[in-house]
Amino acid sequence: MSKKIIYLDNAATTKVDDAVLKEMLPYFKEKYGNASSLHSKGIEAEKALSEARKKVAGLLNCLPEEIIFTSCGSESNNFALKGAAHALKERGKHIISSKFEHPSVMNSLRALEEDGFEVTYLNIDRNGFIDLNQLKKSVRKDTLLVSVMLANNEIGMIQPLKEVIEIVKQKNPGTLVHSDAVQALGKLKIDLKGLGVDLMSFSGHKIHAPKGVALLFKKKGVALKPLIHGGEQENKLRAGTENIAFIAGFAKAIEVALNERSENNKKMIKLRNKLIDGLLEKIPQSSLNGARENRLPTIASIAFPGAEGESILLRLDALGICVSTGSACSQKSLKPSHVLKALGLDALRVHGSIRFSLNKHSTEKEIDFVLDNLPGIIKELREMSPAWRK
Ligand code: PLP
């Protein structure tokens, strides 16, 4: 018999919903056409693609032609940043972002720096929010792009994007604003037209769609240089035969997530708070990373100084509890988290932090199991730690 798994790593990825799988299945064996073909099978595929695009546009409040389907959130972020920078380089070479973006943004920025662009990285305060005063002072005449994530993937803090857009547009109406909303989708209300953002990235596998499908919102009129050259798919902006099955599944997943949003959020906030309160009460000197308020319903990152994050993760895994020490992408390198460092945590807290990320399937029984087992694990690990015993 397989061990019961308590999956608390939903910020890394989620399992595919039954409704999403059902939506996808016809496109593998019956409606398998290429949306660019002129015959009936192609027309069938093109119709499915355009229906999915319309559905997503309706759900996120934008125009269908403002949706570009991509392969992953990382591609959407690369495309937004490199595509905008290279399209606008005659206007300037200055970009603003923050110190705690996802690696797909951070490393795109590094690549742009190598290409001669200048990047200002905004500081993060102890509560996990970007510095709006620094933003105000940093926007210049030659600032072509500002990229600030809507919600952070390691600590869950929601950034004041509306204010970011107001500040940027007031100081320089020509500066584009991009936001990585990969973790926010399905949890926060997203009204693209109302928000006034120029570019926004989303990914399917964080909301119960499969891995390998995502999208970039590009406001009408915004110029982007393509990353992938080839055919004329996605309005000539992203070549490659469209993955209709996954795109249809993604559209369904967004629909389900938004329909269930308030009910799921209520449930997850209750469980997340129980987890935070229980752990802080039972484990001396543990602390929540980031503020209590303005966080995603799903994420709680907690520091257990004196215990090594990877050791905690392995001990929990042995009990069937899946968590993470930081973002899934940087886990294997075992480098200390740039997000936790940006928060200004001391080394023991950076190295002893665990991210718990819930989803709609999480239960009170699962949270109780963590609360029953983790305090003992931390106690044992601390007893073995020379740095803690000192
Ligand atoms: N942005 C954020 C905030 C994320 O959490 C992730 C995934 O962890 C990504 C971007 C990358 O998305 P994908 O895994 O689809 O490339």
- Kindly list the structural domains of the chain, giving each domain's residue range(s) and its CATH number in brackets, ordered by start: 6-14+261-389 (3.90.1150.10), 18-256 (3.40.640.10)
Q: What letter would DSSP give residue 344?
A: T
What whole-number percentage of the chain has pLDDT above 70? 97
For the CA of 74, the closest atom of ligand 1 is 16
Is residue 1's pLDDT more than 60? no
Q: What percent of the chain has pLDDT over 90?
A: 95
Q: Provide the angle, in degrees to the nearest 10, between the axes of the packed helices 103-114 and 73-87.
A: 30
Mean pLDDT to the nearest integer, 194-206 = 98
Per residue in 124-163, pLDDT (tens digit) is 999 999 999 999 999 999 999 999 999 999 999 999 999 9
Predicted confidence (pLDDT) per residue in 329-373, tens digit: 555 556 789 999 999 999 999 999 999 999 999 999 999 999 999
**Inter-CA distances, 363 with 156, 244, 284, 357, Å:** 20, 34, 25, 12
Question: Which range is least confidently modeled, 53-67, 258-272, 315-329?
Answer: 315-329
| Pocket (CB within 6 angstroms of ligand 1) | 72-74, 77, 102, 104, 149, 153, 180, 182-183, 203, 205, 214, 327-328
In the reported structure, the alpha carbon of residue 182 is separated from the centroid of ligand 1 by a whole-number distance in angstroms of: 6
Average pLDDT on 33-56 reads 97
pLDDT (tens digit per residue) in 14-32: 999 999 999 999 999 999 9
Q: What is the DSSP string of 214-238?
A: EEEEE-TT-----SS-SS-HHHHTS
- The region of weakest confidence among 102-116, 128-142, 235-249, 375-389 is 375-389
Q: Please give the mean pLDDT across all residues of the chain.
A: 96
How far, in Å, CA of 305 to CA of 148, rounded? 29
Please, is 332 exposed, middle or buried when counting C-beta atoms within 10 Å of its C-beta (0-12, 13-18, 19+)?
A: exposed
Active-site residue list: 329
